Structure 1
């Protein structure tokens, strides 16, 4: 591949498809290359990251210009937007032509990304300046993106992702997934985070393949693009795959589409074992899980062709070192599938720093350049990694045991009376922490009783992992990526 993050070949091969509009590689290079000179004076550019071709072209233009792009969630709140703008200080905001921007962006110069639906520029290039040469070198250590974290423990932090880190992560995934220019990726993920933008747009463009974005996820869109459209790969999050699993028994076209796909990938949260099994039973296809985060990009994946590994996020990718550590920082010497430790990683995929936060950057790393992920996991004897939860919210210390919430959640979801499940720990005078299960029943009029649910868990797992309390909800609180917001779970009060 080119020393550049993206090697935009001037060919008539399709590169981007959003809805009915398609851009070839030549058209993408022309549009982004012509826009890029206008961005250089901005220093940094915010990108109003709607699920449109304008967002993709704008980000590619920023990469060509060597200017960091700051993707903005179109559903962002006023306070968070103000924080990000103060912190990143962009010189302009890119938006697809016609997008309505919030008042908080009124003070920034706006640059419209004009991408005609036909993908042609019959009236000449939309920008007047000399275009940037797609082969012009860019410092690989310079920031390509500044992606803001979710801010669960304070204001969001800007994660500086270099051209080098993104390229290294995408190339490692290509090796694990046998990802080539012949692949056509289908997805409907948002474009303001690593999964949807880096993996879902920059990944295919680095390989020289095609991305087809659904605009927004729908089971019908997946069936159409994977089936009639000739898609070979599907990226999604557990919520999407759950809806697919629910629809498969009633949708022969969806079954055919998934059966014909080369690779199904789920990420951003754990995919319940039950959904793995339903999809495989209906299609013969295995959903592959991978593990990454904003600061590290991708760390592990189940290799393509390795067979079903429900509940596992696979092996470290090429170039990534991974270890599990105790609370005192000592490295766990065993890989027994039971002993829980915090994941630490190092490698070329790591972020450069938190923007304007040298204190937070220093605190994020252990001696030797190991990044503290905050994720808790066990490692199987064959090296495969199984994540059991977050250190802050999912590690439960009960009766002298360290217990990961994730494995209890999977056990609960294996019960036919449970549609959704979350597990938290709460202070207990006897146990230290007691295990609390939050349940969305399959049938709200006849929820499963607490005793049988706890017995169900104790049968599948060890007895000390049984829930001590069960609480019932109509729905679990989730963010835009489908992750459960455990800090929003509170004990119900009367009145």
Structure 2
């Protein structure tokens, strides 16, 4: 079963789900979600306006119990994006909350209606969810995710993180993507544990969750940076078992600050909407700043440049390909895009460039389209330059790009948010720690880096 601990015969657990001040035991979750499932029986696809509420969780669980495909919709989506998601996914109605002036029928989630009817487990290869990518160009692409993929992905993470039913997970992440919803809600429910959703990912709320007994914390790098800036909140997290970061690269200075304040080395992991999580550092293994770890159980990875395979030598930078039981198979209604990314035999071209060392540790250099710089005949990853620059006290944020250059092909330019210092100071810092050809040729100061709704830097807006 995808969620064996929502089986009505499973043992109950108090406060299996807590969102803000709202609490539900596992028995209540199972009873209400099963009643939701009965209200949508016979539907094929339903949309859920994925606000960080108990209603959203009950709607998603109801869809999973009924075998109805759920489409989580970001609550801040504009009318054009909502219309695209509804039309592309074939959603037949809204389950739970709906936007103003909905164009589809709305089926309410009734909090106090419960059922203990046993529903047969849907086929493992049926589509549990359609998640939409947060791409920087064009309308988002839908990714069908099967029940089998979700189960395989969560079980592989349980192995890597030694995740059990005794753990209490805390986070304040959005409930419309892999990190916050699949890992952050379905993960603890599959293990038989509990989840505290803090409503928003602030240091004070994370500290309160630690006092309430949370043992695992999820956050994106921005969250961990804010925690590192709040000494009391950071020290409250010392009692946790694991601190885990994902969705974007974690700056090494943030890793070091959290380690100093909490005694914990943050677990980093790597994944995408299309693949779920495929690489992670382990609870019982090395946690190397700037590296995202080893392939999960059942996952294989490759580095490629054109048609050539690159060695796992810790130096070669190449396109990262992955395959495994949690990796998807297509973009919904996008055969051309599917053919570009899924190249046969289960291999998915991530669009990221990476380095793999002889032990199998992976370092993500960045996106091929924006983070791979070809300068003077060298292939250079923007990420390693950014890491060095962030080590300077004056640099708060940085984005490194390659701009066209008649002599070099591309010239390395660093956009810096922080207190201005002499350009040569930062250029020489990079040259002292990395190869000379990796030094920026220009430093440009700006007030803020452009970011999308997920907090990811949009480098194309800097070109």
Tell me the residue number matched to 1:302: 281
Deviation at 1:6, TM superposition (A): 4.4
Cα-to-partner distance string for 1:127-165 (whole Å, 9 max, x where unaligned)? xxx66525x211110100100011323221100000000
| 2:16/2:194 contact within 8 Å kept | yes
Q: Work out which of the residue numbers 119, 124, 128 in structure 2 matches 1:144.
A: 128
Question: Structure 1 pair 6/90, CA: closer, same or farther in 2 (3 Å)?
Answer: farther
Q: Is residue 235 from structure 1 mapped to residue 210 from structure 2 by the alignment?
A: no
Correspondence for 1:109 among 105, 108, 132: 105
Contact 2:2 2:190 in 1 (8 A): no
Consecutive unaligned residues in structure 2, runs of 5 or more: none
Query: Aligned in 2, Cα 1:84/1:290: closer, same or farther, shift over 3 Å?
Result: same
TM-score, structure 2 as length reference = 0.96
**Secondary structure at 1:41 match in 2:** coil
State the distance in 2 between where 1:219 and 1:385 align.
29
Structure 1 pair 361–5 and aligned structure 2 pair: CA distance change class (3 A): farther
Structure 1 counterpart of 2:258: 279
Asked if the contact 2:132–2:140 (Cα under 8 Å) also holds between the matched residues in 1, the reply is: yes
Matched, 1:466 2:434: no
Aligned 8 A contact 1:10 1:29 in 2: no
**Once superposed, which parts of structure 1, at least 4 consecutive aligned residues long, lie more than 6 Å away?**
none
Q: CA deviation at 1:168?
A: 0.2
Structure 1 SS opposite 2:352: strand
Q: Give the aligned length.
A: 460
Q: Distance in 2 between matches of 1:235 and 1:257?
A: 15
For 2:309, which of 304, 325, 331 is the aligned residue?
A: 331
CA distance in 1, matches of 2:3, 2:341: 26
Residue 460 of structure 2 aligns with which residue?
A: 487
Task: Say if 2:163 is the partner of 1:174.
Answer: no
Matched, 1:267 2:246: yes
Deviation at 1:489, TM superposition (A): 1.9
Match of 1:69 in 2: 70
Cα distance, 1:217 vs structure 2: 1.3
User: Cα deviations across residues 242-295 of structure 1 (Å, max 9, x unaligned)?
Assistant: 1111112xx2xx244221100000000110000101111121111010000000
**Whole-angstrom distance in 1 between the partners of 2:350 and 2:12:** 41
Which residue of structure 2 aligns with residue 313 of structure 1? 292
Distance 1:368 1:352 in 2: 10
For 2:4 and 2:398, how far apart are their aligned partners in 1?
A: 41
Taking structure 1 as reference, are residues 93 and 59 closer, same or farther at Cα in structure 2, changes over 3 Å only?
Answer: same
Q: Do 2:3 and 2:189's aligned partners in 1 also have CA atoms closer than 8 Å?
A: no
Asked whether the equivalents of residues 232 and 263 of structure 1 are also in contact (C-alpha less than 8 Å), the reply is yes
1:69-88 to 2 correspondence within 5 Å? 69-88=70-89
SS of 1:172's equivalent in the other structure is helix
Cα pair 1:47 1:72 within 8 Å, conserved: yes
Alignment of 1:127-276 (within 5 A): 132-133=117-118, 136-226=120-210, 228-248=211-231, 251=232, 254-276=233-255
2-structure distance, mates of 1:354, 1:437: 34
Partner of 1:113: helix, strand, or coil?
Answer: coil
Partner Cα separation in structure 2 for residue 314 and residue 23 of structure 1? 35
Q: State how far apart, in whole Å, the 2-side matches of 1:356 and 1:198 are.
A: 23
**Aligned-partner SS, 1:376:** strand
Q: Per the alignment, in what secondary structure is the counterpart of residue 257 of structure 1?
A: helix
